[in-house]
């Protein structure tokens, strides 16, 4: 079979919905006997104040499990499977899944394989899962449910089928990519990058109030910034009580417009383009009370000074970036295949002058050190001259 021929895949079987402790135990027993499993997650980030993982999709060669995380008492047995190095865990572009699973369950991951990293290493230009599934298997993903509320219950059967497809094809996709990785000599690079991603991806932080994340505040004066901070706090409180994301209360643009115009009468809110009439009806009195309270204060808010990079670090970044771009064009792969961004940053962060120092900086990717070490050392030595 050529890699660009559609693999004949049977119809997806009905998924096994895991929504009680007994079915969860049966699933874990099955997973513990596997050499590889495919994993994906669905969260409710567009529908809750504090997002959480609401569904975990896990596929073996025979079964597709959909784990209702809202119904299971403890996911600790699944954590043992994720940490088991004898079982390969296959994700696609799994950094978001990893950071959410680490946040919600403190999971650790061993023997991690990412089909997005693998696809990049064999020269695929479009790394989206839906594109790859169409290319390799002729399967079209229904994208209607990408923004669905995965926290609602019961879940629509069509939503479950959509979720099932995200993990169902990952083991066959890995099987298609492995021979090409071996043929190009990039399998070790991919395995090293996957191991680094699984280990180094931090748990996502829980939502916290931060006025500096509001978009559009550049150029605002200290006094207006202090009002923005008060308005942002109001929005946080409203969103928390309603258990909705911030944007479903008011947009960043609306906060900036109010803080900039500093209205004195509620009718002025109707003139702001980023506030709807329903928002004015619902929140107008609270907004005006916040503005009135702010007028009584003399608070000012100044943005913290940005930390500027050392010029030598910036220079090393540029040199390494230019080099990896040229190498990527030569090999017809993305720049991250030649030198991942995190590894580039690690190398650029220090004035490396010897092969031993470079090997230490590249300890997460000994294969790259072996292949590119001499070239990289020569670049760094020139910068140090």
Put residue 270 in one of left, alpha, beta given phi > 0 → left and psi -120 to 50 → alpha. Answer: alpha
H, E, C per residue of the chain: CCCCCCCCCCCCCCCEEECCHHHHHHHHHHHHCCCEEEEEEEECCCCCCCCCEEEEEEECCCCEEEEECCCCCCCHHHHHHHCCCCCEEEECCCHHHHHHHHHHHCCCCCCEEEHHHHHHHCCCCCCCHHHHHHHHHCCCCCHHHCCCCCCCCCCCHHHHHHHHHHHHCHHHHHHHHHHHHHHHCCHHHHHHHHHHHHHHCCCCCCCCCCHHHCCCCCCCCHHHHHHHHHHHHHHHHHHHHHCCCHHHCCCHHHHHHHHHHCCCCHHHHHHCCCCCHHHHHHHHHHHHHHHHHHHCCCCCCCCCCCCCCCHHHHHHHHHHHHHHHHHHHHHCCCHHHHCCHHHHHHHHCCCCCCHHHHHHHCCCCHHHHHHHHHHHHHHHHHHHC
Which is nearest to 34 in space by CA: 116, 99, 90, 75?
Answer: 90
With CA atoms as reference, report the closest residue to 51 among 41, 43, 40, 42.
Answer: 43
Q: Which residue has the tokens 């107008």?
A: 284
Same fold, 211-295 and 311-384: yes
Q: How far is Cα 64 from Cα 15, in angstroms, rounded to an integer? A: 5
What distance in Å separates the CA atoms of residue 127 and residue 120, rounded to the nearest whole number? 7
Whether the CB-CB separation of 69 and 57 falls below 8 Å is answered with no
Would you kindly state where each structural domain of the chain is located, as residue ranges? 16-200, 211-295, 311-384
Neighbours of 366 (CB within 10 A): 13
Pairwise CA distance, residues 293 & 115, whole Å: 54
Closest CA to 168 of 66, 19, 51: 66
What sign has the CA pseudo-torsion 308, 232, 100, 113? negative
Q: Which CATH architecture has domain 311-384?
A: Orthogonal Bundle (1.10)
Note the pLDDT of residue 8: 56
| Terminal Cα-to-Cα distance of the chain (whole angstroms) | 52
For residue 3, the model assigns a pLDDT of 44
Would you state the pLDDT for residue 116? 98
Cα Rg of the chain, angstroms: 25
d(CA 174, CA 180): 10
Predicted pLDDT at 1: 38
Pairing of strands 36-43, 88-91: parallel
Nearest to 293 by CA among 210, 249, 241, 233: 233
Distance CA 220, CA 197 (A): 38
Give the pLDDT confidence score for residue 146 in this predicted structure: 87
Could you list the mean pLDDT of each consecutive 10-residue stretch along the chain, which spans 385 residues?
Answer: 51 94 98 98 97 98 98 97 98 98 98 98 95 93 88 94 96 98 96 97 97 95 97 98 97 98 97 97 98 95 83 93 96 95 94 94 96 94 72
Q: Please give the class, per CATH, of domain 211-295.
A: mainly alpha
Considering the four listed CATH numbers 3.30.420.10, 3.90.226.10, 3.90.1280.20, 3.40.50.300, the one that applies to the domain covering 16-200 is: 3.30.420.10
What pLDDT does residue 309 have? 73
Question: For residue 19, how many other CB atoms are within 10 A of its CB?
Answer: 18
Contacts of 124 (CB under 8 A, 6+ apart): 132
In contact, 384 and 316? CB cutoff 8 Å: no
C-beta of residue 366 within 8 angstroms of C-beta of residue 358: no
**Confidence (pLDDT) at 379:** 92
Q: Whole-prediction pTM value?
A: 0.92
Dihedral sign for Cα atoms in the order 375, 376, 377, 378 = positive
């Amino acid at each position: 079979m050529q890699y660009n021929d559609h693999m004949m895949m049977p119809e997806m079987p009905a998924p096994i919905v895991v929504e009680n402790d007994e079915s969860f135990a049966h699933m874990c027993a099955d997973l513990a006997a596997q050499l590889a499993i495919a994993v994906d997650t669905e969260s409710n980030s567009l529908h809750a104040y504090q997002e959480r993982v609401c569904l975990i999709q896990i596929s073996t060669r025979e079964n597709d499990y959909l784990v209702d995380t809202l119904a299971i008492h403890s996911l600790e047995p699944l954590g043992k499977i994720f940490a088991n190095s004898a079982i390969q865990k296959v994700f696609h572009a799994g950094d978001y899944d990893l950071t959410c699973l680490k946040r919600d369950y403190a999971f650790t991951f061993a023997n991690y394989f990412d089909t997005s990293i693998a696809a990049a290493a064999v020269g695929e230009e479009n790394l989206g899962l839906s594109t790859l599934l169409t290319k390799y298997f002729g399967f079209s993903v229904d994208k209607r449910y990408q923004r669905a509320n995965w926290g609602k219950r019961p879940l629509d059967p069509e939503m479950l089928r959509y979720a099932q497809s995200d993990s169902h094809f990952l083991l066959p996709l890995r099987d298609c990519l492995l021979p090409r990785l071996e043929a190009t000599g990039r399998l070790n690079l991919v395995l090293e990058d996957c191991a680094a991603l699984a280990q180094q991806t931090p748990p996502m932080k829980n939502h916290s109030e931060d006025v500096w994340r509001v978009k559009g505040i550049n150029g605002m004066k200290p006094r207006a910034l202090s009002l923005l901070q008060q308005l942002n706090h109001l929005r946080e409180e409203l969103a928390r009580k309603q258990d909705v994301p911030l944007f479903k209360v008011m947009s960043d643009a609306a906060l900036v417009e109010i803080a900039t115009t500093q209205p004195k009468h509620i009718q002025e809110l109707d003139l702001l383009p980023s506030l709807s009439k329903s928002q004015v009806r619902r929140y107008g009195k609270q907004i005006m009370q916040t503005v009135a309270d702010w007028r009584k204060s003399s608070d000012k808010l100044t943005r913290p000074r940005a930390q500027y990079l050392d010029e030598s670090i910036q220079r090393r970044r540029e040199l390494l970036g230019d080099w990896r771009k040229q190498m990527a064009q030569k090999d017809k792969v993305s720049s991250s295949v030649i030198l991942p961004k995190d590894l580039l940053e690690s190398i650029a962060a220090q004035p490396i002058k010897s092969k031993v120092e470079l090997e230490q900086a590249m300890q997460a990717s000994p294969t790259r050190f072996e292949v590119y070490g001499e070239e990289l050392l020569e670049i760094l030595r020139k910068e140090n001259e």
